[in-house]
Amino acid sequence: MSPSPPEDHAAASSPLPPVAKRIPRTTEVHGDHRTDDYAWLRDKSNPEVKAYLEAENAYTTTVLAPLETLRERLYAEMLDRLKQTDESVPWRKGGWRYYSRTVEGRQYSIHCRRRDHPDAPEEVTLDLNELGRGEPFMALGAYEVSDDGRRLAYSTDTTGFREYTLFVKDLGTGEVGMVAERTGTAAWAADSRTLFYTVEEEATKRQHRLYRHAVGTPEHGLVYEEKDPAFNIGVDRTRSGDYLLLEIESLTTSEARFLPAERPGDEWTLIAPRVNDQEYEVDQRGPDFLLRVNDTGRNFRLVRAPIASPGREGWEEVLPHRTDVMLEGIDFFRNHSVLFERENGLPQVRVTDLRTGSWHRISFPEAAYSAYPGDNAEFDSAVYRYQYESLVTPPSVFDYDMETRTSTLLKQKEVRGGYEPSRYRTERIRATAADGESIPISIVRRRDVARNGSAPLHLYAYGSYGFPLPVTFSANRLSLLDRGVVIALAHVRGGGELGKRWHDAGRMMQKKNTFTDFVATAEHLLAEGYGAGERLVIEGGSAGGLLMGAVANMRPDLFRAVLLQVPFVDVINTMLDETLPLTVGEFEEWGNPKEKEAYDYIRGYCPYFNLAARSYPAMLVRTSFNDSQVMYWEPAKYVARLRALKTDTRPLLLETNMSAGHGGASGRYDRLREIAFDYAFILWQMGIEATTSRASGA
């Protein structure tokens, strides 16, 4: 049995938490004097810092020890649903079929290929289990095969700090050579010998330099360096294979350069110079570039530009800007184009026959779903691969024949244990925000869970960077649903569900809309009987963790418990420090606090500096020691300060993964254990006993 949700009177029997020492550090900005007692936790090399984090881990382990049986049961349930030995759907390129597979008992994927003819033998291109042997972390970055199929350029990170090392492997001999460290993207020229790759600036981790490397030689020529600290660069190859693209972009502005893939030694040519607050994305077909550009409206239009003279003066409009439809992405093939659009908060796929100009959309069967491109490496193809899923439909891979307008299901992820989608119900409803805006909410629950205001409720949100919160399936989530939990996703402003206007209304000096939207969705769900207030647990990660911290300060009475994953909670200090990764580039998301108006606004919601002496919900705060996106010290400082201020005795727990980065554990089994850990905390706070799920027959 799990312990009952902890109340104040139970605290006397609990172990004493660590107490971080206080070393006041006062800074002054715009006349505002801020004292930070826990800034010392930023010193990663200080043994006291690691000792404090390990003490917090030990405390968390002790407090949650009664949940061990529940955690193991949850892990076993999730593992039982997983098809451990599996294989992805192959995709074609250059006479090969590429795919990955997993093997029971192994943490990582094995990347493979076969010749594109019947009964061809398998070739293993990369076994991450072998590469990860003895490493606490293993992540694959670049994976690019040369045109002749002989060489593989790949990069790996063994720390979680997004610190990738680039290698080239001879797929015939197996010989591997290291190319460079701290790399990002990579792309081959048509000669299969020249490799272009990007390298990061060490302190900020901004990809800022492009190099040209002739494999087998010591030559590494610097091709381009981006000096503006707000911009990152990336290198890519068009689907046709005709051109290499150098993409240069900030959060709100972009430009691109191109190079014929057959002439890797030539100079790169600018398509159109950057213009502040204008973004464009490039594809290519025949003699033209096709550009997705937001020069006439925030939601983007589609234009054609001749490669011979691609500047703005020659742009010809193909599809105009639409206020109610966001053009999210473009894919061009020899005879067809595929445009990814978003309308009424949902993704749409628009297919056009470029020979006739006729177009149509692929139809999808559910009220809330996600649809996104699959692997489409070949330009001369009339078949488009896409993936589809929803809160009740497992990830499904389809091939769409653009001539006959028919979809063929190639594979749906297998959920073992007798999963029946018909047992569950998914809905799309809306809440009204404080200013009258209508906020979409996606919901999933078992059909036998009554909407009578008594159910446990889990509410998740993100709401930043214009990122639409995806409506996706999770077999792991069944361990909550089958215990009667109602799960809701709040599509708050700051995300991209309703186009650029939705993002703009939740960033910079409008950021507080994200927080008030979330509160409105929680109140609406409770008022409509989807759950009970005393059983409401909320969760968010990274910028969504900022959201969690902000609403916990605004309405601590509204939530039973909060799960903050790698939370961005020390916004003021981070955005004032331009030596940190991401800071300068994100002035366009949060504002630059060196400007007083922006400082005052951020100061008004920054979770860390708005903690106060009051009661708070129970909290589990998770971070990683090697996180390069939200540094570990933000959640560590947040917990230390909150523990010193809060007046309640509900649990406040900090769990630090000492050998991972922003996404947590890299191995699939290790990741399942982290999810089981989180779910056990959630269920405990909801007051749910440690039973097996109903679907398992218990």
Residues annotated as catalytic are 542, 627, 662
Q: Which of 484, 508, 503 is nearest to 492 (CA)?
A: 503
* CA distance readout (Å), 511 to 174, 362, 522, 525, 553: 51, 35, 18, 22, 15
Two structure tokens written together for 517:
């939207």
The radius of gyration of the chain's CA atoms, rounded to the nearest angstrom, is 26
* Distance spanning both ends of the chain, measured CA to CA: 14
Half-sphere exposure (Cβ direction) of 484: Cα atoms closer than 13 Å: 20
Two structure tokens written together for 489:
């996703």
- Hey, which residues does 292 pair with through a beta bridge? 281, 302
Please report where in the chains the tokens 């680039």 appear, as a residue. Answer: 166
What secondary structure letter does DSSP report for 307? T
Per-residue exposure over 250-264, b if at least 16 CB sit within 10 Å of its own CB, e if not? bbbbbbbbbbebeeb
What secondary structure letter does DSSP report for 322? B
Cβ atoms within 10 A of the Cβ of 431, count? 24
**Beta carbons within 8 Å of 167's beta carbon, 6+ residues apart:** 153, 154, 155, 156, 176, 177, 178, 179
Taking phi over 0 as left and psi of -120 to 50 as alpha, with beta for the rest, 653 belongs to beta
What secondary structure letter does DSSP report for 453? S
* CA distance readout (Å), 463 to 108, 147, 164, 545, 549: 31, 40, 28, 10, 13
Q: Which of 616, 657, 673, 663 is nearest to 639 (CA)?
A: 616
H helices, E strands: number in the chain:
12, 38
**Reading across the β-sheet that carries 652-657, which strands appear in turn?**
424-432, 438-446, 486-490, 457-461, 536-541, 561-565, 618-624, 652-657
Two structure tokens written together for 613:
């002496």
Question: Which of helix, strand or coil describes residue 308?
Answer: coil
Task: Report H helices in 566-632.
Answer: 571-575, 587-590, 596-605
